[in-house]
Amino acid sequence: MSTRPETGSIKRPEDSFSPASNTSGWTIPKPTALLVLADGTVIEGFGVGAEGSAVGEVCFNTAITGYQEILTDPSYAGQIIAFTFPHIGNIGANDEDIETANLAASSHVRGCVLKTAITEPSNYRAQRHFDQWLKMRGIIGISGVDTRALTAMIRERGAMNAVIAHNAKGSFDIPALQQEAARWPGLEGMDLVPEVSATQRYDWDETVWQWPEGFGRQEEPRHHVVAVDYGLKRNILRCLASQGCKVTVVPATSAAEDILALNPDGVFLSNGPGDPAATGDYAVPEIKKLVDSGKPVFGICLGHQMLALAVGAKTRKMHQGHHGANHPVKDHTTGKVEITSMNHGFTVDRETLPEGVVETHVSLFDGSNCGIALKDKPVFSVQYHPEASPGPQDSHYLFKRFVDLIERNKAARGS
C-alpha cells in the first residue's frame, strides 16, 4: 500500500540529499518542489501552481481566511508567503477577490508555502480550482511542508531569503538553488514600487461589497480624493468611494504639483512593497510638498512609513514583520483596541518622531508604532490595513476620519 505523506522534510546543509531510508512500509513519492533557504537548508514538498523557480523573502501569514486577497496584495512583491492556516485553497478562487488595483502588472508575490494538498473547492462563489488559479497567475507553490516548524524558524532567526522551485519531474540543481538564495540581496534597500504601481492616471467609483447586491457605484460623490498608487489594493479604493469620494488614482512617480493641479479635497498615500527609504528617494520630496499644501493627507502601510520619513522620522527593518488578520492595535486617540489586518516588514522608529508629530496607534503584540498624526496639519497615517481585505472591519472608521478632516478643511476654507 502506498500513500502521499502528510508533509515533506527539512534537510540541513550538512545532511545528505539522498532519500532517507524508509522503514514505515509507505512508499514516499519523489519531491516535486523545494524551498531552499539562504543558509542552505532544503525543505522538500510537492509542487502546486506554476512550475519554475523564484527567489524572495519568506514570511508567514497568520490569517485563516482570504488567501486569494493575500496572494494578490501588491505589498507582498518580493516575498514568499508561508500560510500558518492549513486549509488553503479549500474554497477555490474567483474574480471578485483579487486585490491588486493594477491588473496590468504580473503577480507580485514570489510563491506560497502550504501545509496540505489543495482540496476540491467547496464554496458557492468558487469559479475555478485554486491550483488552476495559481497556474493562471504564474504563482509557484509548495505543499506538504511543516509550516509550524518553518514559522518557528522565522520567529527565531528572522525573515529569511529563499528560492521556491517546482518541477513536476522532481529534477533540481540544489547547489545552484542554494547559491541563488544566498546571493539575493534581500528587501532592505530595495524599491519594488515600480513593479506594482499604475503607469497612468484613472478614476475609480466602485464601492464596497454588500449582500446581496455585490459591488456598487458611487454616483453622487461629495469629495475628490487623489490616491497615490505605491501598490494599491482595490478595497482601499472601494472604502474611499463608499465614504462619498470620487477617487483619482495617480502613479507613484507623480509630482506633487501635478497632484495638486487636480484640485483634490484630500490626498491618500497607499500601501506598497519594499523598503520605504528606497522608494522615499523620489516619493518623500513630493509627500513633503503635499503635506505643506495644507490638504488633508491619509497614508497606510508604505504610505505611512514614507509620510513618517517626510516629516523627519526614520524607518527600520523588522525581525519577522507583521503579516496576518488578527493583530491587536490600540488607538491612543480613543483608548479603544481594534483587531487589524497587517502586512509589513518595516516599521517607523518612534524614537525618531520629531516635535509636532504624535503617535496615535501602537501594536499590542510587540509595542511597535502603528500610527502618527501631525499636530498642526490635517495629516495622519496608520501602519496596518483598515480596508480589511482580508480581515476584520474594526478599522473602517479611519476612512470616515479622513473624510471628516476633508469636510472640516473645506468648511474652514469656505469651499
Using CA atoms, how far residue 271 sits from 227, 397, 411, 413, in Å, is 10, 18, 29, 29
pLDDT of 385 > 60? The answer is yes
pLDDT of residue 22: 42
pLDDT of residue 25: 57
Beta-sheet strands, E only, within 149-201: 160-166
Distance (Å, whole) CA 239 – CA 74: 18
Distance (Å, whole) CA 290 – CA 265: 12
Distance (Å, whole) CA 396 – CA 415: 26
Q: What rounded mean pLDDT belongs to the chain?
A: 93
Distance (Å, whole) CA 47 – CA 283: 39
What is the average pLDDT across 25-35? 84
pLDDT of residue 415: 67
Find the range with the poorest average confidence among 64-73, 80-89, 209-218, 312-321: 209-218
What are 264-321's pLDDT values in tens digits? 999 999 999 999 999 999 999 999 999 999 999 999 999 999 999 999 999 999 999 9
pLDDT of 2 > 50? The answer is no
What contacts 272, CB < 8 A, 6 or more positions away? Answer: 74, 75, 192, 193, 196, 197, 230, 231, 232, 252, 279, 301, 302, 303
pLDDT of residue 26: 61
Residue with cell 522534510: 9
**In this structure, what DSSP letter does residue 118 have?**
P
* pLDDT over 70 percentage in the chain: 93
The Cβ-side half-sphere exposure at 113, using a 13 Å CA radius, reads: 34
114, 148 contact by CB (below 8 A): no
pLDDT of residue 136: 95
Which residue blocks in 243-396 are alpha helix, DSSP H?
256-261, 276-292, 302-310
Distance (Å, whole) CA 31 – CA 20: 12
Distance (Å, whole) CA 32 – CA 330: 44
Among the listed residues 44, 69, 338, 387, the single catalytic one is: 387
Angle between helices 397-413 and 234-242 (to 10 degrees): 50
Among the listed residues 301, 327, 344, 361, the single catalytic one is: 301
End-to-end CA distance of the chain: 77
What contacts 44, CB < 8 A, 6 or more positions away? Answer: 8, 9, 10, 11, 31, 33, 34, 144
Distance (Å, whole) CA 259 – CA 227: 9
Find the range with the poorest average confidence among 55-69, 91-105, 109-123, 315-329: 91-105
Find the range with the poorest average confidence among 8-12, 148-152, 385-389: 8-12
- pTM (two decimals): 0.93
Q: Which amino acid is at 360?
A: T
Residue 91, helix vs strand vs coil: coil
pLDDT of 159 > 70? The answer is yes
87, 173 contact by CB (below 8 A): no
Q: Which stretch of DSSP H or E encloses residue 407?
A: helix 397-413
pLDDT of residue 413: 87
pLDDT of residue 20: 37
What is the average pLDDT across 17-43? 74
Residues comprising the chain, all counted: 415
What are 327-382's pLDDT values in tens digits? 999 999 999 999 999 999 999 999 999 999 999 999 999 999 999 999 999 999 99
177: phi then psi, degrees, rounded to nearest 5: -65, -40
Question: Within its chain, how far is the Cα of 119 from the centroid?
Answer: 25
pLDDT band for position 89 (cuts 50, 70, 90): very high
pLDDT of 383 > 80? The answer is yes
273, 107 contact by CB (below 8 A): no
Mark whether 387 is an active-site residue.
yes
Structural domains for the chain: 10-183 (3.50.30.20), 193-413 (3.40.50.880)
Beta-sheet strands, E only, within 13-139: 33-37, 42-49, 52-61, 79-83, 111-113
What is the average pLDDT across 102-118? 88
Residue with cell 476540491: 120
pLDDT of 84 > 90? The answer is yes
pLDDT of residue 78: 97
Mark whether 301 is an active-site residue.
yes
What is the average pLDDT across 379-402? 96
